[in-house]
Amino acid sequence: MHRFYCFVVAVVLLWESWVTADPQTTLLNSGCSQYNVSDTSAFVATLNETLADLRSALSSKAADSSAARFATAQRPRAAEPIYALFQCRAYLSSADCLACLSVAEVGIRRCGNAKGARVIYDGCILRYEGSVFFDQTTQIGNAGVCNGSAASDAGFSEAAQALVRDLTIATPRISGFFAAAERDGVFAVAQCVETVNEEGCAQCLTVADANIEGCPPDTDGRAVDAGCFMRYSSKSFFPANQTVDLSQFLSSGKSNKKGAIIGGVVGGVCGLLLLAIIALLWIKRSRKRRGGRTGDLLGATELRGPLNFHYKDLKAATNNFSEKNKLGEGGFGDVYKGTLKNGKTVAVKRLAIAQTSRAKADFQSEVKLISNVHHRNLVRLLGCSSKGQDLLLVYEYMANSSLNKFIFGNFFP
């Protein structure tokens, strides 16, 4: 009798968990890199191991419900290196989070042997790349996603906009970069990946706020991006006990535009230098890129735009621009070898060019353009930084002679 009772209880509990489970696997966005790996068998093996690492990390955190929603994994020394990130919405249960991961694993494998891929669902995001991307925030292809779930009140749109605006301000100031709130019949969440900083989260959500306003009145709205997610609805899609009082995070004097403003003013001069490099690259480029296009990943996986590095991080990476880290001198300044906090080795060029107001206005667009140019014989411009008159460009580091050819001005053999 006792065994029968235990069996009945187990069945009831299993039934209840199945009925209430909701991993929220509505697909919002997916895409594949336009570049393919060169060694498919090595890539598949590494991808399998990396995804297994993600699942293991999440499962090991399952006892701590607050930590079982985010994980990264990396295999940098593999023949085909892979860096991966997975994140669930913080209101999902551990079981639903793992269920969303299972769906995402199937979805992301549809990219075949693409060098990078990403799938975004209502409940989670899964992404992998061949290089480090964990600190990326807003990228090319960010978008609003709308559907036809009708709201019952004509004033829903204004109420949603007000709540989304408050979430944009408050979320970067909340530990874990997640907030859920309900107000005037509107339910909304905002979330950033845990590997970005507060400024990056604020910048990403500012873009998401603008994108989600593009949804017509009386609809569910989502905003998707590389580093953040936002959603509002007239229907509850998260447990009531997940809401947070936003008022305590709105009273600060900080502006939600801070991240965007900082991102807009970071940089300096060197527009002419960058234009010259672009021209030389196009002259040098005589062969078409190999590998067919396999899809579009929120614009393009490999064309992910430059990073705005923190000056203090680059200063620390180069040991305060130490002579021991100095690689050489070029026509526009000195170049130093640096190691970032994530272990990535870079070359930092300290420009010696006078600033002009026109150059400041053009600088970021120029950097974005040149950073997206790929050539097998040239290293890549990763981003930039500035402090006062100190202007820095950050390049991918290569130990062979191609580094000299690229950043010291010797472009031709």
pLDDT tens readout for residues 165-214: 999 999 999 999 999 999 988 999 999 999 999 999 999 999 999 998 88
Non-local (6+) Cβ contacts of 151 within 8 A are 157, 185, 217, 218, 219, 234
pLDDT at site 68: 72
> CA–CA distance from 213 to each of 99, 209, 216, 218 (Å)?
31, 6, 8, 12
For helices 40-60 and 94-108, give the axis angle rounded to 10 degrees. 170
> CA–CA distance from 234 to each of 160, 179, 379 (Å)?
9, 17, 49
Q: Is the pLDDT of residue 352 over 80?
A: no
Q: Is the pLDDT of residue 232 over 60?
A: yes
Considering only 10-24, 93-107, 216-230, which range has the smallest mean pLDDT? 10-24
Token pair of 388 as six digits: 């006062």
Q: Please give the average per-residue pLDDT across 234-247, as a whole number.
A: 91
The reported pTM is 0.59
pLDDT at site 359: 52
pLDDT at site 203: 94
Q: What is the pLDDT of residues 109-161, one digit of tens each?
A: 999 999 999 999 999 999 999 999 999 998 887 889 987 655 555 567 888 88
| CATH architecture, domain 25-129 | 2-Layer Sandwich (3.30)
Q: Which CATH class is domain 266-282+291-407?
A: alpha beta
Which residue would you say has higher pLDDT here, 47 or 352?
A: 47
The Cα–Cα gap between 53 and 171 comes to 29
* Ranges of each domain in the chain: 25-129, 143-263, 266-282+291-407
Q: Is the pLDDT of residue 340 over 80?
A: yes
266-282+291-407 shares the fold of 143-263: no
pLDDT at site 354: 57
pLDDT at site 407: 47
pLDDT at site 32: 92
Q: Is the pLDDT of residue 17 over 70?
A: no
Q: Is the pLDDT of residue 221 over 50?
A: yes
- Range ranked top by mean pLDDT from 98-107, 263-272, 288-297, 317-326: 98-107
The Cα–Cα gap between 315 and 236 comes to 47
Superfamily (CATH) of domain 143-263: Gnk2 domain, C-X8-C-X2-C motif (3.30.430.20)
Token pair of 35 as six digits: 């570049």
pLDDT at site 372: 53
Which residue would you say has higher pLDDT here, 219 or 152?
A: 219
**How many other CB atoms are there within 10 angstroms of residue 8's CB atom?**
10
Burial status of residue 282 (CB atoms within 10 A of its CB: 0-12, 13-18, 19 or more): exposed
Q: What is the pLDDT of residues 251-300, one digit of tens each?
A: 754 444 444 444 444 444 444 555 555 555 554 554 444 433 333 333 33
Q: What mean pLDDT, rounded, does the chain reach?
A: 76
pLDDT at site 153: 57
